[in-house]
Structure 1
Amino acid sequence: MTLSVSLADQIALELRADIMAGRLLPGMALVEVDLVKAYNASRNTIREALHRLGQEGLTRYVRNKGVMVRRLERSEVRDLFVVRRTLELQAIAQSGALTDAQVEGMHNAIEATALARDREDWRAVATHSLVFHQLIVGLMRSPLFDEFFAQVIAQLRLVFCAAIDEQRFQSPWLERDREIYALLVRADKPAAGKAMSVYLNDSERLTLALFT
């Protein structure tokens, strides 16, 4: 049975994808009249889509300004990393041998990250790296966790936009993603879990440093 997706759901998903891709940045206004024209939708549909993004922690209403893409606080970032540790480490711990589809998906995400790095497109580097980590959570085969984690990494994407030197901030992670991927392919879950734990500790430290 296929569940139908409302127009408001679809618009919310597309706006979230724009956040993930770095096209919508913290502080940007989401103007109703512009979105009505862009999506050929009613005001009520646009308001419903924006409300859903607000529930996902991606937008907020500012009096006299309307709906804007959120800027996250330091305490919220700490919480996001609590979630990341819980889901990503658990996904690795309970994973079995990777299927061909899982190997291909992770490989493609890493190669996309490498291509973006070669182009020095650091926003795309961040996006594709987060996709790789979403695929790790996908090892649990839980659509509910997949949807929840998609919201988590979209919030993280907004935080990464605060990096003044994106190249310096994003450069360290590709090779570490490759290492984790190789360990998962070899089904070395203890080593993959340890590598991921260190990765998340370092990522949290550097991300929190953006607030100083």
Structure 2
Amino acid sequence: MTLSLSLADQIALELRADIIAGRLLPGMPLVEVELVKAYNASRNTIREALHRLGQEGLTRYVRNKGVMVRRLEREEVRDLFVVRRTLELQSIAQSGPLTAAQSEHMQNAIDATTLAREREDWRAVATHSLVFHQQIVGLMRSPLFDEFFAQVIAQLRLVFCAAPDEQRFQSPWLERDREIFTLLAQQDKPAAGEAMSLYLDDSERLSLALFNRP
């Protein structure tokens, strides 16, 4: 049974999507009066939506400034990669042969990443790569994991926004996503798992290095 979402839930999901797409960046204010007008919603509804985003680790309240998109701390980034390893590697280990729909969704994400890279739209490159990894977790066919991982992806997006050179930070991942997809399509789960493990090691190292900058 599918439960209908409240207006506050819908607004929270749209704002989360804006974070994943790189339209809302760390430190940006989420002004109540502007959101009331944008969504034609009551103040209470907007506050409920912002509260949900706060529970997801995407916003924080700053005294005298209001609600702002969060900047994550180094230890939070470490924790995100603990979650990524648990979910993405387990998804690969438990996966069966890719269905036509699964294969199509992954290929679409890779194609979108490729097009964004050709356009040198590095923000979109990051977004579509994250969508590919959502498809990996989707192999478990668990709506609960899908929803949880969407929150993780949104937090990761806030980390990636901190990269001073988006092209340099994002350019390595497309070919590695494509390699993982090819191995899964070939039903070589051990090699796909190893490729994913190395991918996550390198991604974590580069993400943590963002906190070493002066």
Coarse TM-score class (shorter-chain normalised): over 0.9
**In the alignment, which residue of structure 1 is the partner of 2:18?**
18
Residue in 2 that maps onto 1:5? 5
- Count matched residues: 212
Q: Once superposed, what is the RMSD of the aligned Cα atoms?
A: 0.4
The residue correspondences of 1:8-47 to structure 2 (distance < 5 A) are 8-47=8-47
Alpha-carbon separation, structure 2, partners of 1:44 and 1:196: 43
1:147-200 alpha-carbon deviations (Å, 9 max, x no partner): 000000100000000000000000000000000000000110000000000000
Q: CA deviation at 1:2?
A: 2.4
The equivalences for 1:83-122 within 5 A come to 83-122=83-122
Q: Which runs of 5+ in 2 are unaligned?
A: none
- Which SS does the other structure have where 1:207 is aligned? helix
- The amino acid of 1:101's aligned partner reads A
The one-letter amino acid paired with 1:190 is P
Structure 1 segments (4+ residues) deviating >2 Å: none
**Separation (CA, whole Å) in 2 of partners of 1:121 and 1:115:** 9
TM-score by length of 1: 1.00
The answer for the alignment partner of 2:146 in structure 1 is: 146
Tell me the amino acid that sits aligned with residue 67 of structure 1: V
- What runs of 5+ residues in structure 1 fail to find an aligned partner? none
State the SS of the aligned residue for 1:25: coil
Distance 2:195 2:121 in 1: 26
**Is 1:210 equivalent to 2:210 in the alignment?**
yes
SS in 1 for 2:139: helix
Work out the percentage of aligned pairs sharing the same amino acid: 88
Structure 1 residues 124-203: aligned runs within 5 Å:
124-203=124-203
TM-score relative to the length of structure 2: 0.99
